[in-house]
Each structure stands twice: as structure tokens, then as C-alpha cells.
Amino acid sequence: MFVQIRKWTLTEGNTDKIIERFTRKPEQGPSLIEQQEGFLGRELLVKDIRRGEEEVLMLVRWESKEAWKSWEKSPEHIAGHKKKIKENGAKPPKPDYIIAMEHGSYTVIE
């Protein structure tokens, strides 16, 4: 199994913005990534904190690294990222409520 992990550090009170972005309602049906061969699942985790910076983790599980690479190279994935690029070719600025975003990819051993 292959896992991608993304971690967002957010200003206080903004966890819901990340949760809404990656949560689908049942009537919307499966997302493109959920229909991708080799996709196993996605979980959103919210760090239990009371005040200050907030953290959200997203784990995306794949059958294999090859399945993930297939998604990364798919026309649907590429088109989704192209939509985010402005007419001048620049990426939009990161929202001010995102302090930092980290990501990594891992091969599951056990």
C-alpha cells in the first residue's frame, strides 16, 4: 500500500474550510479520485486542540505507488490543477488562513 499525507496548519477557527473542500455530500456521487483505479480511501483528521493554530491531516491510500502515479498523470487530475492557474499563468496566492502546508508520500511496510 502507498499513502499520501498532507498536513495543513491553519489560523484559529478555519478547520472547516479544509474539511468542506475535501468532503462530498452523498448526492454529489463519488469524486474523480474515488473513481480512480487503485484508490483505496481518504481520511481527514483534525487535531484535538483548544486554542491557537489548528491542524488538519489528510491521508490518501492507494493500492500501490503505480496506482497513485497513474492518477497524478491522468487528464482529469491535470485538468483540475490547470483550473487553479490564473490567465497570466500564475498560481493563485494561498489563502491567508493557511499558515503552512506539508506533504509526503509513504510506502506502507506492515
Domains in the chain with CATH codes: 2-107 (3.30.70.100)
Summarize pLDDT for 5-54 with one digit per residue, the tens.
999 999 999 999 999 988 888 788 888 899 999 999 999 999 997 788 99
Summarize pLDDT for 77-101 with one digit per residue, the tens.
888 767 666 566 677 788 999 999 9
- Which residues lie closer than 8 Å to 22 by C-beta, 6 or more apart? 42, 44, 58
pTM, whole model, 2 decimals? 0.84
H/E stretch holding 6: strand 2-10
